[in-house]
Structure 1
């Protein structure tokens, strides 16, 4: 029965997030959850008229979901089909406690019920009826309590449990999962109840590979109970301000640990000394910790280290020579530290670097010469530095550079000509008032750009004619206030756009809405602070993929948008005003 619903049940370290600086955010709201949910979209895509020929199974499953009230039980149906029906009902938010009863004893494997309305203890009996077939359950944001977890006692094959944002799970709930010896993934993000004492229940989960305790403020001292979890590879205790140096000592025996996240904790240079024994550590996130450059003495012993985040720490130039020992680093985030060009001298030998974040550091033009030899560099963040046009000549040889952020620098139009040879560049951020039409003209050779941020740049209607050179753009932001409807006409042919931000352009009218009506791939549109009115909304009816629409400070009301949503834009889940 296997393949139709097969998928990876547990995620490895998310390198995409690492390249963005380890910034993982989660908002406990229905709209944001469903905007980015991970369930299969195949059935819903069929309903939206996507032209791929649907399979017979998809058509039948869709029909069953439409007539779900006619079915009393799916227990005799093949598991793969029952799983498809269940997933579609969850995605379309048609599942309730009455319909759920039809899935009793169906041997389902994966119940992705995170943030699902009405999910509470009354559902647990049916969930538990899946028995030894049940492998993963996502309880995120539910009202399930400690008592509800007692129903799971016979689900001995469970491999992954997610209790993020579950406000009713306490130490007693932890005790009720102690018997799940096959559990490899466990997450309790943002739990204000579980304590260090309750964490003793984790000591028996000897097969645990991934543990997430982000934003759990009462676990100080509880990491002692992890000492025997020798298979643990990933531990996330970000934003636990109760964590101190003493909590690092029990970790030194976790020889298989590959990922450790302790951002915004109270760990100092002394606490980092306990990490020297973690020779397999590949990822270390210490953003916002009170460490200094002295911690590099300990970190230099971590020969496998690939990803290091020291953003918002207390780093200075003193001692930064030790960065040269971290030869295998691929991703390094040093943003918002009191470091200068000195750091670049020692990084020029770290030739494996693929991503470097120097946001808000004291970096100047002359220091960039040390980046010239970093040929593997793919992502460079120089936002809010003292870099100007002269320094950009040192970047011209970075043939693999795919993402460059020069926002809030002193780069001018003339300097942008030095970027013309960066043929691999996909993403460019130029949020700066001194950039004008002339600078945009200098970039027209960068035809591979997919993301262009000109948020505060002074781009006029005349300058928008250069946008026609960027046929691959998927994201465009021009918010300097200089555009009129005439300029938006030059955007209408960028048919690959999924995100368009034209906010702050106060002269735009309903005619601009007509101009973008052909951009049918748009998922997000922002035309705030313009002259758009409710009458202009009719032009958006063709944007069937639109999920986010922002028209704040326009002559448009929430009821106007809701009417458009109900009649023509069923996928719209986030809109302003609301």
Structure 2
């Protein structure tokens, strides 16, 4: 790798000094000051409430007067880089202002999802030459022609071209000489085919490769077989990938992460991977594999993450789970497994997260989880687990998140959770949960997320909310709460999400009561008696980004007026 590629970032080298001429680091700062008024009171600085640094003042002023500058090439790279980043973040970069960064030796150009990026912009990008180390042009209109301009940027290490519909095999051919690439991302590049992947044979330093949703790459993975440094490969949602494509991966001995959700790989394909001993992260969600593949997977001694959700896993063959001793995360959701499978999980003492969503497990199976003392997250939604099963979980003192939605757990069962004071997230979507159930969990004072969708909560039950002062997310939908109950919510100052939909007796008074919850980013009060007149109470909620008031007596016109007049961050509105 070249010297420019291996140097530390943001350190000036001789090239910088030559390019800067007589302007040293100190000199360039003085140059910036000449453009500033002696006392600038109209410069907006991001760090509100703190004294801005000299550099922040300079960059803010340049952003404000960007039309006055035709070139920043005389500045040291660290300063021009900061100005560029500021323009991108503030959406102040245009065709004209971009030209001022010609030959600035920028190292990082991150334009992912930035509007208006096209081939002509790549001319300025390519002018950074061997200084360029990282480029993101995701979701742009760049074509094969634009990509050809990068051929002289030999030191690029990271390139992201996600969702670039106009880049094809021909465009890929232009990056075949970028042998210093360590990370390449081409998500949903539907014009790329197996033949175009031939260029990967030259990218021998690749460590991370992302081909998610590339639907025409069947047969192309053979060009990866010599990429011995590859550690991460993402081919999620590539439904063209079959067992045949797995064989070339067998020699990638450094592979640590393999994402294959919704591919057509079966147990036979997994057999090709048996030599990948360093695999730590394996995602097979939605693949047509069965428990038979566990014979191979159990040999991955470094495996800590395994996702087998929506596969064909059953109790038959599940005894091989017991060999995955280092596993920390296991997702078995939406499989045909029962309590008999859980017997083989009881020795996985390193498990921190277990997902059993929609599996046929019940109270008896919970007995096998009582020894998993490191468990932090447990997903039991839509299972046959009831109140009796929760008694087996009472010793899981590290449990932080548990989902009991659509189970048969009752108010009485919740008392068995009262000692698990580490719980931060609790989902209780169930009609059988009432005010009494809330009273049973008031000891869980560390709760940050509470979901009571469909629970029969009344104003009396809301008195319990005063115990949950750390709540950031609260959903109490379909209950019997009135404005009187909302009085017990108005002091939860940490709330960023509040969903009170389908409490049909709520009125404009509710909006007045919650007007002090200034941290709110998402608010849903649908199917209530709120009117246009009540919208004025939302004006203090400057952080609000999502507002849902469907089936209320409000109009889209009045909501739009509120958005324009007082809620600048509001981007999602219902009704529109």
TM-score higher than 0.5: yes
Q: Does 1:283 align with 2:281?
A: yes
Cα 1:553/1:130, change in 2 over 3 Å: farther
The answer for the alignment partner of 2:555 in structure 1 is 557
Cα 1:84/1:526, change in 2 over 3 Å: farther
The answer for the alignment partner of 1:150 in structure 2 is 148
The answer for the alignment partner of 1:436 in structure 2 is 434
2:124 to 126, 143, 167: 126
Shift in Å at residue 107 of structure 1? 1.6
After superposition, residues 88-127 of structure 1 pair within 5 angstroms as: 88-127=86-125
1:168 to 156, 166, 169: 166
Shift in Å at residue 518 of structure 1? 0.8
After TM superposition, what 4+ stretches of structure 1 lie above 6 angstroms from structure 2?
A: 1-5
Shift in Å at residue 423 of structure 1? 1.4
Structure 2: runs of 5 or more not aligned: 1-6, 12-42
Shift in Å at residue 502 of structure 1? 1.3
Secondary structure of the corresponding residue to residue 291 of structure 1: coil
Secondary structure of the corresponding residue to residue 378 of structure 2: strand
**For each residue in 1:32-58, what CA deviation from the matched residue of structure 2 results, as whole angstroms up to 9, or x when unmatched?**
xxxxxxxxxxxxx96678423332322
Are the aligned partners of 1:381 and 1:405 in contact in 2 as well (CA < 8 Å)?
A: yes
The answer for the alignment partner of 1:299 in structure 2 is 297
Deviates more, 1:562-571 or 1:396-405: 562-571
The answer for the alignment partner of 1:248 in structure 2 is 246
Secondary structure of the corresponding residue to residue 346 of structure 1: helix
Are the aligned partners of 1:207 and 1:231 in contact in 2 as well (CA < 8 Å)?
A: yes
Structure-2 separation of matches of 1:137 and 1:385: 46
Shift in Å at residue 80 of structure 1? 2.3
Structure-1 separation of matches of 2:402 and 2:275: 36
Structure 1: runs of 5 or more not aligned: 6-44
The answer for the alignment partner of 1:68 in structure 2 is 66
Q: Does 1:325 align with 2:329?
A: no
Cα 1:544/1:53, change in 2 over 3 Å: farther
The answer for the alignment partner of 2:227 in structure 1 is 229
Cα 1:272/1:378, change in 2 over 3 Å: same
Taking structure 2 as the reference length, the TM-score comes to: 0.91
Secondary structure of the corresponding residue to residue 181 of structure 2: coil
RMSD after superposition? 1.8
Are the aligned partners of 1:307 and 1:331 in contact in 2 as well (CA < 8 Å)?
A: yes
Are the aligned partners of 1:510 and 1:531 in contact in 2 as well (CA < 8 Å)?
A: yes
Q: Does 1:371 align with 2:373?
A: no
Paired residues, number: 540
**For each residue in 1:172-222, what CA deviation from the matched residue of structure 2 results, as whole angstroms up to 9, or x when unmatched?**
111111111111111111121100000001111111011011111100000
Structure-1 separation of matches of 2:520 and 2:8: 36
The answer for the alignment partner of 2:37 in structure 1 is none
Secondary structure of the corresponding residue to residue 438 of structure 1: helix
Structure-2 separation of matches of 1:66 and 1:553: 43
Are the aligned partners of 2:45 and 2:57 in contact in 1 as well (CA < 8 Å)?
A: no
Deviates more, 1:77-86 or 1:362-371: 77-86
Taking structure 1 as the reference length, the TM-score comes to: 0.91
Shift in Å at residue 577 of structure 1? 2.4
Secondary structure of the corresponding residue to residue 100 of structure 2: helix
The answer for the alignment partner of 1:493 in structure 2 is 491
Are the aligned partners of 2:45 and 2:52 in contact in 1 as well (CA < 8 Å)?
A: no
Shift in Å at residue 309 of structure 1? 0.5
Shift in Å at residue 3 of structure 1? 7.9
The answer for the alignment partner of 2:194 in structure 1 is 196
Secondary structure of the corresponding residue to residue 103 of structure 1: coil
Are the aligned partners of 1:209 and 1:233 in contact in 2 as well (CA < 8 Å)?
A: yes
Cα 1:81/1:548, change in 2 over 3 Å: farther
Structure-2 separation of matches of 1:306 and 1:271: 21
**For each residue in 1:517-560, what CA deviation from the matched residue of structure 2 results, as whole angstroms up to 9, or x when unmatched?**
11111121122222222322222221122222222222333333
Secondary structure of the corresponding residue to residue 429 of structure 2: coil
Shift in Å at residue 2 of structure 1? 7.6
Structure-2 separation of matches of 1:571 and 1:2: 38
Are the aligned partners of 1:2 and 1:80 in contact in 2 as well (CA < 8 Å)?
A: no
2:311 to 310, 313, 316: 313
Are the aligned partners of 2:399 and 2:423 in contact in 1 as well (CA < 8 Å)?
A: yes
The answer for the alignment partner of 2:390 in structure 1 is 392
Structure-2 separation of matches of 1:155 and 1:217: 29
Structure-2 separation of matches of 1:46 and 1:537: 30
Secondary structure of the corresponding residue to residue 448 of structure 1: coil
Structure-2 separation of matches of 1:190 and 1:383: 32
Deviates more, 1:560-569 or 1:510-519: 560-569
Structure-2 separation of matches of 1:144 and 1:523: 34
**Which structure is richer in relative contact order (CA contacts within 8 A, separation 6 or more)?**
1
Shift in Å at residue 236 of structure 1? 0.4
Structure-2 separation of matches of 1:546 and 1:50: 19
Are the aligned partners of 1:408 and 1:432 in contact in 2 as well (CA < 8 Å)?
A: yes
